Chain A
Amino acid sequence: MEDKREERDYGGAKYGMWFFLLTEILFFGGMFLLYSVFRYRFPDQFHAGASEENLVLGSINTVLLLTSSLFMAAAITAVKRGNNKLSVILQALTVVSGVIFLIIKGTEWGEKISKGLYPASPVLLKTGKGEILYFGLYYVMTGLHGLHVLAGIIVISFMMYYTATGKINKNYPVRLENAGLYWHFVDMVWIYLFPLFYLVT
């Protein structure tokens, strides 16, 4: 008789995600290192650059990501307790928070671009080296973080489908747990980006 049980390696699936996240730590770590060195070299120009940031919008975005992390963590608990319907709602709230985050970020980028503050712009080229570096790092770091948020939104949208159809369930919630790990990691990167760009004025 053929054994129809599916072999699933719960621990292996979790390890895989964690190891991927460790490569992400080093990926963002390199950029944080660049930021630190240039901020040390050009402290006044970094302060001047940071004065262009909108602290209110940055704070709202931080609250949004922290709250989305709460929704995501609760969505995992809901699945493990067998409440897939509640989990889908919580995942949807996570996605909505992520979308609002991106809209606000886009508004901030729009404001700066309309002032002529974008890489290699005539306005920026008239300023010092430090400000050029500050805005270069700002666009690269927040842009790559934004791409990660977008990737997280797409992944969680798939997880919503899997949860609604029962492919993710209390017996095997690891896909959702891994999506959660990714989302919390993206949140963690923002926890550092926020003080570096918004609170250094």
Chain B
Amino acid sequence: MEQNKTREGFSIVGYRTYVFIWVILLLLLALNIAVSQILVKGITVLLNIIIASCMALLDLVFFMNLRHEGKFLKLVVFMAIAVLTLIILFTFSDVWFRAG
């Protein structure tokens, strides 16, 4: 991946890297639509969310340039996503086992 730094220390990501990521994102979008049309329901929702998460990860790491941020920020972003995931899991642990 082409990448360099300016004299001021800002990281510069090359145009080609962004175009490459954009092409992958479009392919994943096509895959997501295809999965929803072809496969049986039940599995599709899970697959749709997994593919969407891959797309979001590419967005976060490359377009938002998280890979060039410091360890602290990476940890904070990870914690926020982990907290949200835990909130969703705990809520579902209630929804799944609640009668009626």
Interface SS, A side: helix
Cβ contact of B55, chosen from A77, A170, A177, A191, cutoff 8 A: A191
4 nearest interchain CB pairs? A199-B36, A195-B48, A70-B22, A29-B84
* Chain B interface size range: 35 or more
**B10 and A80 within 8 A (CB):** yes
Contact with B along A56-81 (1 / 0, CB 8 A): 00010011001101101110010011
Contacts of A199 in B (CB 8 A): 32-33, 35-36, 44, 48
> How many Å lie between the Cα of A23 and that of B44 in the bound state?
30
**B59 and A184 within 8 A (CB):** yes
**A69 and B52 within 8 A (CB):** no
**A33 and B91 within 8 A (CB):** yes
Contacts of A69 in B (CB 8 A): 22, 59, 63
**A37 and B91 within 8 A (CB):** yes
**B13 and A73 within 8 A (CB):** yes
Contact with A along B21-63 (1 / 0, CB 8 A): 1100110010011011000010011001101100110011011
**B80 and A81 within 8 A (CB):** no
**B73 and A15 within 8 A (CB):** yes
Which residues of B pack against A, CB within 8 Å? 6, 8, 10, 12-15, 18-19, 21-22, 25-26, 29, 32-33, 35-36, 41, 44-45, 48-49, 51-52, 55-56, 59-60, 62-65, 69-70, 73, 76-77, 80-81, 83-84, 87-88, 91-92, 95
Contacts of B15 in A (CB 8 A): 74, 77
Nearest CB on A from B28, distance (A):
9
Q: Is A1 an interface residue (CB 8 A)?
A: no
Contacts of A66 in B (CB 8 A): 22, 25-26, 29
Nearest CB on B from A48, distance (A):
13
Given contacts A63-B26, A73-B63, A184-B64, whether A195 and B77 have CB atoms under 8 Å apart is no
Contacts of A67 in B (CB 8 A): 22
Nearest CB on A from B94, distance (A):
9
Closest to A82 in B: B6
Closest to A192 in B: B52
Q: Can you list 29 contacts pairing A with B, beta carbon distance less than 8 Å?
A: A11-B70, A18-B69, A18-B77, A22-B80, A25-B80, A25-B84, A36-B88, A47-B41, A55-B33, A59-B33, A69-B22, A70-B19, A70-B63, A73-B13, A77-B13, A77-B18, A80-B6, A80-B10, A171-B8, A184-B59, A184-B63, A187-B59, A187-B63, A188-B59, A194-B32, A195-B36, A195-B49, A195-B52, A200-B48
